[in-house]
Amino acid sequence: MSNQSVDTDTTPARRSAAIVGIGHTDWVNDWARVRNNEKPSDSYGYAAGALANALDDAGIEKTELDGLIVGPTTAYERMAEILGIDPRWGDQADAVLSVAQAVTAIESGLAETIALVYGNNQRSGQIQYGGPQAMGGDAFLSYIYHAPWGLTSQGALYALTFQAYKHATGFDESDLARVAVAQREWSSQNPNAVMRKRITIEDYLEAPYICEPLRLYDYCMINDGGVALIVTTADKAKTMKQKPVYIDGLGRRDLNSNATSLEPRLTEFYHPAQEDCARQAFAMASIGPEDVDILQVYDSFSVHIPLALEGYGYCRKGEAAKFLAESGMGPGGKLPINTSGGHLSESYMQGWAHQIESVRQLRGECGDRQVNNCNRVHYTSDVAGKAVSIIYGK
């Protein structure tokens, strides 16, 4: 199935680190409370609650933590202060890079057991992801450079990407509908998902455009919540409460040249970065795309899915529509994708919740949506020209 050239001989899987604890807040209850004009917590409170759950899951006390990585929605020093942790090593990073940095710190001997924590009150805090004050205005260059043309949100940018992709490949809106429909099928079986009502292709096509050609169901949710992971050494992981989930492979490739002109998004759809990232991650894990049991894709918008399928070698270029129609990504499909419901239907935790789902699937804890014989999960994030991947394994 793959058109990737994977070198499985030169870079063995190191398996130096493993995830031994996971936790998150009550996304469903907090969604209801915020919609009722309540403010259950702030970003730090959500992160603290998630960490408490992750420590309980791992069966350890916070005194055993000697490392801390926080999401970019909170300040590292303040988070450590609130949590009552004095780590000997720490940093700030997004979901996928926090895992990569934790592995690097463990391999370097800088820390042994690291907490990765994220909290975001984006819904109750009324954070704007579009308009002249989107995320503080000047903080996000993509908004500033393209504001004169009305492109003041990521939704507008990805609508333009999808329009270009449609013209290049023939992929149409009914093909994209399969993504949203499949992810609702998964979320309907997930008690932690905010959106659990199934939808049909007809429902999708009848939904209003938000920024044509992207419709309502192509957009992620905006909700409050927190996520936490506990990462430790492979040796220590073997002695702990939970079955360890190992980091088998990592890869990263950035496309920054011409990034502010959107060129990497509109001409090659990030594929060169994805291909290089795939070569790194699959080689480190000594596998290919055909060996992956679940694909988890950062899905702030549904269009991420077909681009990733092609860029990471799960199907040939221009054949994502055929793959989705014939192979499927929902329950019973050939390649399960975003088995929690993802950002579109479970919870928008900016990639952090995808790590939780990856761990749960590999542990076999997902109930009705559990993928049988799940041994490897590939997570990928393609945001702002940066392609980053993790291969998780039992």
Q: Look at the chain and count its residues.
A: 394
Q: How far is CA 207 from the centre of its chain?
A: 25
Q: Are 4 and 272 in contact (CB under 8 A)?
A: no
Q: Sort residue 102 into left (φ over 0), alpha (ψ -120 to 50) or beta.
A: alpha
* CA–CA distance, 301 with 393 (Å, rounded to integer): 27
> Which of helix, strand or coil describes residue 283?
helix
CA atoms of 236 and 344, how far apart (whole Å): 36
- Spatial distance between the Cα atoms of 302 and 343, rounded to a whole number of angstroms: 9
Q: CA 391 to CA 251: how far, in whole Å? A: 9
Angle (CA) 173-218-277 rounded to 5° is 95
Output the tens digit of pLDDT for each of the chain's 394 residues: 344 444 444 344 478 999 999 999 999 999 999 999 999 999 999 999 999 999 999 999 999 999 999 999 999 999 999 999 999 999 999 999 999 999 999 999 999 999 999 999 999 988 878 766 665 444 445 555 676 777 778 888 899 999 999 999 999 999 999 999 999 999 999 999 999 999 999 999 999 999 999 999 999 999 999 999 999 999 999 999 999 999 999 999 998 888 777 788 888 999 999 999 999 999 999 999 999 999 999 999 999 999 999 999 999 999 999 999 999 999 999 999 999 999 999 999 999 999 999 999 999 999 999 999 999 999 999 877 789 999 999 9
Q: Are strands 89-92 and 67-70 parallel, antiparallel or unpaired?
A: parallel
Per residue, the 3-state secondary structure of 93-143, as one string, reads CCHHHHHHHHHHHHHHCCCCEEEEEEEECCCCCCCCCCCCCHHHCCCCHHH
CB 25 within 8 A of CB 226: yes
What's the rounded Cα separation, in Å, for the pair 144 and 132? 8
pTM (2 d.p.): 0.93
Domains parsed from the chain with CATH numbers: 17-126+223-237 (3.40.47.10)
Phi-psi region of 350 (alpha: psi -120 to 50; beta: other; left: phi over 0): left
- Backbone conformation region of residue 270, classed left if phi is above 0, alpha if psi is from -120 to 50, else beta: left
3-state secondary structure of 187: helix
Question: Residue 28: which residues within 8 A CB-CB, separation 6 or more?
Answer: 191, 192, 193, 194
How would you classify the pairing of strands 113-120 and 67-70? parallel
* pLDDT value, residue 385: 75
Tokens of 183: 């992810």
The dihedral over CA atoms of 181, 185, 190, 193, expressed in degrees to the nearest 10, equals 20
Return the DSSP state at 6. Answer: -
Contact indicator for 247, 392 with CB cutoff of 8 Å: yes
Q: Are 17 and 103 in contact (CB under 8 A)?
A: yes
Beta-strand runs (E) in 170-312: 209-211, 214-215, 225-233, 245-254, 294-297
Owner of token pair 């079955």: 243
